[in-house]
Structure 1
Amino acid sequence: MMKNHKIIISGPPGSGKTSIINALKNKGYLVQNELHPGKINKESDKLELSNYLFSKRIKQYHDKTIIKSNKHNIKLTYEHPLIFFDRSIIDVIAYLNMWKIKFPIKMNTAIKKYNYNKNIFYTPCWKKIYKTTPHRPENYENSIKIDIFLRNAYIEFNYNIIEVPKLDVNKRVDFIINNL
């Protein structure tokens, strides 16, 4: 088993991350859920998601997210030996890069402080399961673009990407557990 037990599960929208996280939770594993887009609207003065995504307030929102996540992450680390994270701060950096917004230097500090395991489990784009929803407005083509930025960000921060095979959710969970 991996020495560092803070495990990131990342990937573009609609690639099955949340289904995997929910399955891990149902098996009794501790998970840190992704911040839901519904919460993004509340944090950004209830702007519509589409307006929010392209507003300059995104940087302020992510600064708040880092502070909240950092406090919660430190607490989780001391209380539990194995934690699965639905995305990480590196995902935030990838999105900021995609939107051509310079990320604050304190994000580098937060990444070092989080000390995630250097092997991340990555769910690739998968057209067969992709669906747009009110909380996932991106179309599949945009998901492919996000995929590129996510992969580049993890590589830039020296993470090893372990691609999760396109299988049913239980087999994907087994793959992750067997590769810890």
Structure 2
Amino acid sequence: MPCHPPFHVLTGGPGSGKSSLLAALAQKGQNVVEEAGREIIRDQQAIAGLGLPWHDPRLFAELMLAWELRAHRQALTRKGRVFFDRSLVDIIGYLRLNDLPVGEHLLQAVRQLRYQRQVFLLPHWPQIYRNDHERRQDAAEAERTCAVMREVYVEAGYRLIEVPRMSLAQRRDFVLQCSGLNPSPAYENAPE
């Protein structure tokens, strides 16, 4: 069985709490990698660029691929675990959602650059879902995105761990415990 770097992925639909959970992990001293999509959208909007998902989805996917390749390479230089807000596999899901072909170069990257086999799936959570100037999907599309991410990760050989809908501290501690780190009292007191 191949040895994968200590890279843990958070995935799911938009607005499911991934970025908040990533920030909570960072506050606990964990290494984190921000979501490519949001950063690319900010960059493209700042320069009136064309690499936006609502303007040129293929270009946006290629920009995400370049971002994720660089992020994976940089994470190899860090000590300890690294938590990613999405990964290369999410790009396949994005392309599938947009009925766009998945290039062989992306499939090769997904085969070569691996993460821990257990991936944390944050399910669609209508009560916390909000649109903003970077997140334009409606709730139905967010739910569909979660379903597609579930499919593509399983197809890529990953095992999904669904993160329960709990307080942010409880979700953080759940992820830490499942990653082999000791939980704090917040998770131990979580409702069943």
Shorter-normalised TM range: 0.7 to 0.9
1:32 is displaced (CA, Å) by 0.3
Unaligned runs of 5+ in 1: none
Code of the residue aligned with 2:53 in structure 1: it is L
Cross-structure match for 1:22: 23
TM-score w.r.t. the length of structure 1 is 0.87
> Cα–Cα, structure 1 residues 46 and 21, in superposed 2: closer, same or farther, change >3 Å?
same
Unaligned runs of 5+ in 2: 180-192
Code of the residue aligned with 1:12 in structure 2: it is G
1:24-57 Cα deviation digits (max 9, x unpaired): 01111000000253632644862689xx4344x3
> Cα–Cα, structure 1 residues 92 and 85, in superposed 2: closer, same or farther, change >3 Å?
same
Distance 2:124 2:54 in 1: 23
> Cα–Cα, structure 1 residues 68 and 35, in superposed 2: closer, same or farther, change >3 Å?
closer
Cross-structure match for 2:161: 162
1:176 is displaced (CA, Å) by 0.6
Q: Is the 8 A contact 1:38 1:135 kept in 2?
A: no
Cross-structure match for 2:130: 131
1:43-90 Cα deviation digits (max 9, x unpaired): 4862689xx4344x3223322332343133123213322100000111
Task: Indicate yes or no: 2:53 matched with 1:53.
Answer: yes
Aligned pair count reads 176
Code of the residue aligned with 2:106 in structure 1: it is M
Distance 1:112 1:15 in 2: 27
Q: Is the 8 A contact 2:61 2:94 kept in 1?
A: no
TM-score w.r.t. the length of structure 2 is 0.82
What does 1:1-180 correspond to in 2, within 5 Å?
4-37=5-38, 39-40=40-41, 42-43=43-44, 46=48, 52-55=52-55, 57-180=56-179
> Cα–Cα, structure 1 residues 146 and 68, in superposed 2: closer, same or farther, change >3 Å?
closer
SS in 2 for 1:79: coil
Distance 2:106 2:53 in 1: 19
Distance 2:43 2:35 in 1: 15
> Cα–Cα, structure 1 residues 48 and 67, in superposed 2: closer, same or farther, change >3 Å?
closer
Kindly indicate whether structure 1 or structure 2 has the higher relative contact order, using CA contacts under 8 Å at least 6 residues apart: 1
> Cα–Cα, structure 1 residues 9 and 77, in superposed 2: closer, same or farther, change >3 Å?
same
Cross-structure match for 2:184: none
Q: Is the 8 A contact 1:119 1:159 kept in 2?
A: yes
Distance 2:23 2:69 in 1: 22
